[in-house]
Chain A
Amino acid sequence: MHKGWYEPALARELSPVAAPDGLWERIQNPRPRVQRNVKPTFLRACATLACIAMVLSVVLLRPSRQEIRSANPAEVQAWIRTKAGVDIPLRSHLPAEIRLTGARMVNGRAEIAYLVSGRACRATRQPSPSKHAFALSCTNPSDLKLACALCHIG
């Protein structure tokens, strides 16, 4: 038999013990076990539900956002046409202070991103009976008026 140096401790920790007096009572009147631990089946169910919820939140609730980064008006225009089905006639040559940076789709709406003298601006196409209506947002409010120059001369 293997005789380890730890065997005295092992024998002490595993020594026999007397059954509590209440054991006979428990057997005569069995009661449900004390559920101090969580059942694995319950845990598996919780984990599965959590995974499903996570996947649903990612797939269904995530805003559908797609993006193009480009300073080329023709490329951005073509991308918006493909993604949103609308043709925004961006000027092929923009004024010097305006620099196109790209576009993205946010919840089905096309949003054009550009800089005015290095300051960020966005023009988001709105659903409207008129041909093109945009919601504008600029870091500097004075840059809002230059949004027209994306499509129009002067």
Chain B
Amino acid sequence: MVLEANGREEIARRDVINACRRGDPDAFRALFEAHKNRVYSIALRYSGNTAAAMDIAQDTFLKVLSQIQKFRGDADIETWIYRIAVNACLDHQRRTRRLLPFLSELIETISVRGESVLHRLMRDQTSSDVQRVIARLPAEQRMVVVLRYTEGLAYDEIARILGCSAGTVASRLNRAHKILERKLSHLRGVVGNA
């Protein structure tokens, strides 16, 4: 029964992809709806910035739309879209450098609607510390951390998306863990309660 359901799902998925290739707008909307949260989550967790995340998600789906003809089905459509999202994140980072991170964060803080500035500024220190350390991880390590913790992907899935070996993924994750552990050491004993 499960196999039968999976088979039907796969056929439906291929139908959607084929319809997208034919330029069917409803099919693209269906593809978008199926992947929008994943793409946006990766973009937001990687960039740490809602405006940047919107730009990255926009770029990702426009690329999906323009490149769907070239999708040969060698990989899963999810893996293919993840890969485009990862490249969009890296491209965005290359294009823009956050010269004034503190000012940028302040602008973001002030522009958040429905939340008092004071409340925002007084938000849990732990949260901001963790985000700050993640944001300063080297790009390749940060991406592995995001794919692992935001998407809960396995090493081999991450490896397929990034085009590297599972061993490389493990190595990058291990290095990221060491950095996180060292730079968040002041939060030891606090994190569990935060």
Contact = CB atoms under 8 A, between A and B. Distances in A.
A131 interface: no
B6 interface: no
Nearest to A31: B58
Interface in B87-129: 95-99, 104, 107, 126-127
A20 B58 CA distance: 12
B130 A37 contact: no
B57 A23 contact: yes
Contact of B57 (A2, A9, A12, A19): A19
B20 interface: no
A36 B51 contact: yes
Nearest to B38: A16
Contact of B177 (A4, A8, A13): A4
B54 A23 contact: yes
A34 interface: yes
A13 B99 contact: no
B165 interface: no
Given A16-B38, A24-B32, A34-B51, A4 B181 contact: yes
B191 A8 contact: yes
Interface in B137-180: 145-146, 149-151, 173-174, 177, 180
Interface residues of A, number: 31
B187 interface: yes
B187 A9 contact: yes
B62 A27 contact: yes
Contacts, number: 106
A101 B55 CA distance: 69
Interface in A1-41: 2, 4-6, 8-20, 22-24, 26-27, 30, 33-34, 36-40
A22 B55 CA distance: 12
B23 to A, nearest CB: 14
B55 A9 contact: no
Contacts of B130: 6, 9-10, 13
Contacts of A14: 45, 134, 145-146, 149-150
B194 interface: yes
Interface in A26-69: 26-27, 30, 33-34, 36-40, 43
A26 B150 CA distance: 23
B83 interface: no
B180 A4 contact: yes
Contacts of B126: 9
Interface of A: 2, 4-6, 8-20, 22-24, 26-27, 30, 33-34, 36-40, 43
14 contacts: A2-B174, A4-B177, A6-B184, A6-B191, A10-B149, A13-B131, A14-B134, A14-B145, A14-B149, A16-B38, A17-B37, A22-B54, A23-B61, A27-B32
- Which 9 A-B pairs give the minimum distances between C-beta atoms? A19-B40, A14-B149, A19-B36, A37-B96, A16-B41, A9-B191, A33-B55, A13-B130, A14-B150
